[in-house]
Structure 1
């Protein structure tokens, strides 16, 4: 009898322990076929009146509707309303099988921390930077052809050496903040590390009818800790050198979602501001104003149709551009969907924003159109989550 009771107790303890701790493996695979025209080349002569031609591209893509990724999450209940959490997540290409560059296996998330239902969640490590908070208010959810395209990726980076705090929900309000160290011998950065100091704060209010969010962040130049940076269009492969306002500075966002039954209306405004970028050549902007709006129609439980417009104004002769896009998705199951998007970006004579969130520059390697020219594309794909 005693042996039976002991066995039952051990089995019960095992059940409790299992309920208190869990590890989940998850992932997402995204692939499709994309076509883009209007990719510019300037190889038909130089000087006034030189001819310019464009080319097109058809490719098997990965991550156009959503980043292909995989990772692990874990939680341990240690009692008293406290939990220990970890999150590991890395991106990869389903087209080539290649993982992220720079030797960063977990380039999106590598965090450990604690959570309490009453006090909130504190995490330490590498994570998506707070500017990704635009995702919930972007009609296309930061797909490859959406809000990031108009600011050349300024609103979707990752951040290392970070501490984040997520508050509980207080009467519909919640607060989220991040603070990332430069880990340099100078607080803001001085060229001894690959990242300058970064920080941000967002406040969200959610109700049954609408949701609003205000977001502020700053990304400092690791070379000198400033809220700006050099712009070198001849060095398009080095984001820290070539992107200028598209990489460093302060970012202010105000965004809204309105829920109208089967329809969701979304809109937002983003202002990117730099400092210390004096003496910039014409065409090298130091500020950006970005606006967008769109509507999602959830036609039924499986099908959604989306239409959106994104617009950007760049100062200092950087021009302006507008991206028009329609698309949608169809869920084959809870884990698998088909997606499609058609988009065109129209540039003023001084701008060359592309459909993708490309670095500045006019060479064909950037994928951008030539100055003042349009770019149009279409893609269709499949996405599976596990």
Structure 2
């Protein structure tokens, strides 16, 4: 009888210890609203306006699981699974049918040595998010670079250092996984960040190669150099950034070989629940491909810590031979205006996190 009691006590103790050392969290975001855009191209060469129900304009709707297991001596096994979807129809939002299209990671984390993970992840160029006044919304720093700074990457090795006196480092390497074709589809990048209570600075380099291992398109397969700064002044945050993209293997004169992207913005936390954002973005594509400037203003109003309303208006002014949209579109998308035409867009919606 005593042996049974001792055994039961040990089992309970082991179970309690396991619970104390392991954590798992279900999380997500639901985002939906209404969107308006004008001067969209039509197949017959004309233009049209559009109202539509649209999810994810403020931020991608998603759900995920993340957790850790305490391995002792400050070391943890960690994982993260994350899937994005379109709220309005419930479908996977990247079109390739993968379940965890944003993140599928496993690795180790240490307060002393940093975090190392492997799997599918957001590409390191998403690091511009922290310096974008519109945090890579549907209309944002991603618009005038046609989404170059917000892709995902598979087969990645990722490292994030601990913060040491305000300084931290992150690196990412995405293998091609193709025998005999080491460079084909390969991607990599690194960033260094310094954070102070009054400002934050970041420098980043990344590269994405095409299926032939070349830098053939500034907006999809290119080298990217980024520098950004945040300045924190009470309720105000000033943000400015510069990005240079290079695609030396692009066919000339059909495609550009380089582009420069700048922006400056201001965020104002007017009250604990109400905030305003504004920004001006500019892209210049030498070689006769033109330039564009986007002006944007937006607001959020929090109903709780997890739920808020939002509204954003943007206007893109194109040079005579440019066709950039307020939204993130490929160069051949009908959602772009015809060359030389300007475009206005707006959206309102609600975002809830859990």
Q: How far 1:4 sits from its partner (Å)?
A: 6.5
TM-score normalized with structure 1 length: 0.88
Q: Secondary structure at the match of 1:136?
A: helix
Matched residue SS, 1:15? helix
- Hey, what's the Cα distance between the residues in 2 that align with 1:279 and 1:149? 24
Give the whole-Å Cα distance in 1 for the aligned partners of 2:42 and 2:66: 45
Could you tell me how far 1:13 is from its partner in structure 2?
3.3
SS in 1 for 2:163: coil
Output the CA distance in 1 between the equivalents of 2:291 and 2:252.
Answer: 21
Match of 2:182 in 1: 187
Corresponding position: 1:303 with 2:274:
yes
Q: Are 2:215 and 1:227 equivalent residues in the alignment?
A: yes
Cα offsets for 1:318-343 (capped at 9, x unmatched): 10001101001111111111100011
Match of 2:302?
Answer: 331
| Displacement of 1:366 | 2.6
Q: Is the 8 A contact 1:41 1:370 kept in 2?
A: no
CA 1:71–1:4: 2 relative to 1, 3 Å: same
Q: Deviations over 1:170-227 (max 9, x none)?
A: 11100000011011221101xxxxxx110000000001000000000000011x1012
Match of 1:199 in 2: 188
- 1:372 alignment counterpart: 340
Q: Of 50, 55, 74, which aligns to 1:62?
A: 55
2:64 to 49, 58, 71: 71
Q: How far did residue 378 of structure 1 move?
A: 1.3
1:272 aligned partner: 245
1:20 alignment counterpart: 21
CA distance in 1, matches of 2:321, 2:148: 20
Q: 1:8 Cα shift?
A: 5.2
SS in 1 for 2:249: coil
Per-residue CA distance 1:287-346 (angstroms, 9 max, x = gap): 110000111001121111001111000122110001101001111111111100011000
| SS state at 2:129 partner | helix
Q: Distance in 2 between matches of 1:17 and 1:300?
A: 43
Residue of structure 2 equivalent to 1:290: 261
Measure the CA separation in 1 of the matches of 2:204 and 2:334: 30
CA distance in 2, matches of 1:276, 1:341: 37
Once the two structures are TM-superposed, the CA of residue 74 in structure 1 deviates from its matched residue by: 1.4
> What is the count of residue pairs matched by the alignment?
351
Displacement after TM superposition at 1:41 (Å): 3.2
Q: Structure 2: how far apart are the matches of 1:72 and 1:37?
A: 39
CA distance in 1, matches of 2:43, 2:306: 44
SS at structure 2 position matched to 1:159: strand
Question: Tell me, what secondary structure is at the counterpart of 2:42?
Answer: strand
